[in-house]
Amino acid sequence: MIRRRALDDDDDNPDRWLVSYADFITLLFAFFVVMYAVSSVNLSKYNALTTSMGTAFTGSESQNKKAPEISSKSYEKKTMVKPLPLSYLYQQKSLHERENMAQMGLDISNKLATQISDGKLRVMQNNRGVRIDINDSLLFTSGSAELAPSALEVLNEITNVIKTNQRLIQVEGHTDNTPIHNASFFSNWELSAVRATTVVRMFSDTGIDPTRLSAVGYGATQPISSSETEFGRASNRRVSIMILYETKNEISDNNEIKPQMH
């Protein structure tokens, strides 16, 4: 009787596991591709996917449990709810405000075209609002904070445009860098502050709500031109009227401080 030769286990390939691993990776890749393809959660695709996945992993369709029914109506209700586009509404509001402010600046420019052409007044729009720069020679006599007769016409024209809205108004006094020290003003700080206050008082007397008004003196700290020439120093001596984007209601809401409960 011929004895069979024992099987030689030494011929096994130690890298056989790579075949199974490659099959697993291929199956996993196919799974994610299918999931991506049905990411819109189509009802028919979802049921087909659950059936095919059950067959692939269990080998029998009979072992698959019935996939839970998905109500397409309830899903549509959830997906049809869109978030409120607050950023879009804010952008539209800001754009509308800028357009209104630009129109206000244009109205003031038209009313004061003569002073603008003479180089005594400028109107511009920036990120704070509309700024009106008025040379001090148009408003005050040298070294004084009393309004000149020529100032009343200019300020009245501005008042007629800004009186009806609720935007805040900040009046800024500016001087050149030439020191001043007399019986009325100890320095340029006092001169710039008193000039700004004088314009604010005039606005209040003409009917503008005082809660919209504020005055600040900057002295010579914010020049708009070189102080090396007389022309530059004359440009720096000015009163700036800032018509701000903010309203008094917005400021009061932002500054509200609520008491803390202990």
Q: How confident is the model at residue 62 (pLDDT cuts 50, 70, 90)?
A: very low
The CB-based long-range contact list for 226-235 (8 Å cut-off, 24+ gap) reads 227/176, 227/177, 233/176, 233/177, 233/178, 234/135, 234/137, 234/176, 235/135
pTM of the predicted model, to two decimals?
Answer: 0.62
More confident residue, 68 or 98: 98
162 in any annotated domain: yes
Q: Considering its fold, how many domains does the chain have in total?
A: 2
Tell me which residue has tokens 């196919």.
30
The last residue of one of the domains, among 79, 105, 124, is 79
Q: How confident is the model at residue 14 (pLDDT cuts 50, 70, 90)?
A: low
User: Facing residues of 123 across strands?
Assistant: 132
pLDDT recorded at residue 70: 45
Quick one: the chain helix, strand, coil %, rounded to 5? 50, 15, 35
More confident residue, 89 or 257: 89
Q: Which of these, 13, 225, 255, 246, lies nearest to 133 by C-alpha position?
A: 225
- Is pLDDT of 53 > 60? yes
Length of the chain: 262
pLDDT recorded at residue 237: 95
Within 8 A by CB and 6+ apart from 176, the residues are 188, 220, 223, 227, 233, 234, 236, 237
On whether both 55 and 130 belong to a single domain, the answer is no
- Is pLDDT of 220 > 90? yes
The last residue of one of the domains, among 43, 61, 79, is 79
On whether both 119 and 195 belong to a single domain, the answer is yes
User: Facing residues of 242 across strands?
Assistant: 131, 170
Indicate the pairing of strand 121-125 with strand 129-135.
Answer: antiparallel
The last residue of one of the domains, among 62, 79, 96, is 79
Q: Which of these, 151, 126, 127, lies nearest to 238 by C-alpha position?
A: 151
CB 131 within 8 A of CB 124: yes
**Which CATH number goes with the domain that contains 236?**
3.30.1330.60
pLDDT recorded at residue 206: 93
Two tokens, residue 244 = 């701000």
Q: How confident is the model at residue 21 (pLDDT cuts 50, 70, 90)?
A: confident
Which segments of the chain does DSSP mark as H helices, in order?
17-37, 43-58, 72-79, 86-111, 113-117, 136-139, 149-162, 188-205, 230-236, 248-254
On whether both 117 and 219 belong to a single domain, the answer is yes
- Is pLDDT of 36 > 90? no
Percent of the chain at pLDDT above 90? 47
26 in any annotated domain: yes
Angle, CA of 205, 129 and 201, to the nearest 5°: 15
Average pLDDT over residues 94-111: 88
Domain containing residue 64:
19-79
Distance CA 214, CA 170 (A): 5
